[in-house]
A and B are shown apart, each in its own frame.
Chain A
Amino acid sequence: RKEVEQDPGPFNVPEGATVAFNCTYSNSASQSFFWYRQDCRKEPKLLMSVYSSGNEDGRFTAQLNRASQYISLLIRDSKLSDSATYLCVVNRANKLIFGTGTLLAVQP
């Protein structure tokens, strides 16, 4: 079993839709949590950190449930430019462990 699990998708959604991605992690010693975005044939880049209280950055909302070891990312009002792979990432012992990513394709 992978330490960080994500639904690989693809998620095909129309512009303006709301889409949610989920992620689970298996090691309860994990310390901090992130979502990274990776465009096709490009390097990953940090999208946002994830806090237990939940946090929002514009159209993006991230949630963490430590008891269930579950992380989510909600994207509202999807744009064509949101099309990418979204990577769930967990920091354990100062090493970042990456999920395999969820592919989002926003359709016009």
Chain B
Amino acid sequence: DADVTQTPRNRITKTGKRIMLECSQTKGHDRMYWYRQDPGLGLRLIYYSFDVKDINKGEISDGYSVSRQAQAKFSLSLESAIPNQTALYFCATSDLTDREGELFFGEGSRLTVL
């Protein structure tokens, strides 16, 4: 089983719908992140959380919200999806004590907004 699990892996939805992407991890890491990846733009940070009570906006948080329900779970919501939120979304974790800050990614959630 993967250490960082994202659900759903693929989702097609319509403009205006509410969507939630879920992430759970078994690595015991404190830090969790949501990125989106678009061709030509690379990975961009949406939100990150360094522990259960800590939520921070990243580079492109508009139109998104997150919830850190537990150390192991970090969900991303699109309250009213729009077509330019079509992208590949990655959840990632890192260890607070790891000086290198290596990120461990889930397999990605491909979202298409029609």
- Whether A96 pairs with B107 at a CB distance below 8 angstroms is no
Task: Give Cα distance in the complex from A98 to B42, angstroms.
Answer: 7
**Interface hit among A12-20, A60-68, A69-77, A87-95:** A87-95
- B74 within 8 Å of A (CB atoms): no
Chain B residue at smallest Cβ distance from A97 = B45
What is the predominant secondary structure among interface residues of chain A facing chain B?
strand
B87 vs chain A, min Cβ distance (A) = 14
Q: Once A and B bind, how many residue pairs between them come within 8 Å at the CB atom?
A: 43
Which residues does chain A contribute within 8 Å of B58, judged by CB atoms? 95
**Interface hit among B13-21, B64-72, B75-83, B96-104:** B96-104
With A8-B40, A32-B100, A49-B100 known as contacts, the answer to whether A95 contacts B45 (CB < 8 A) is yes
- B34 within 8 Å of A (CB atoms): no
Task: Give Cα distance in the complex from A60 to B6, angstroms.
Answer: 31
- Whether A87 pairs with B106 at a CB distance below 8 angstroms is no
A22 vs chain B, min Cβ distance (A) = 16
Q: Which of A44, A91, A101 contacts B101 (CB 8 A)?
A: A91
Task: Give Cα distance in the complex from A42 to B108, angstroms.
Answer: 8
Task: Give Cα distance in the complex from A43 to B107, angstroms.
Answer: 5
Task: Give Cα distance in the complex from A12 to B72, angstroms.
Answer: 41
Task: Give Cα distance in the complex from A27 to B42, angstroms.
Answer: 18
Chain B residue at smallest Cβ distance from A46 = B102
- B41 within 8 Å of A (CB atoms): yes
Chain A residue at smallest Cβ distance from B106 = A43
- Whether A87 pairs with B40 at a CB distance below 8 angstroms is no
Chain B 52-72: CB-based contact to A (< 8 A → 1; otherwise 0): 000000100000000000000
With A32-B100, A49-B100 known as contacts, the answer to whether A100 contacts B106 (CB < 8 A) is no
- Can you list 18 residue pairs at the A/B interface with Cβ under 8 Å? A36-B103, A42-B108, A43-B90, A44-B43, A44-B105, A45-B105, A46-B102, A49-B100, A87-B43, A91-B101, A95-B45, A95-B58, A96-B45, A96-B103, A97-B45, A98-B43, A99-B42, A101-B42
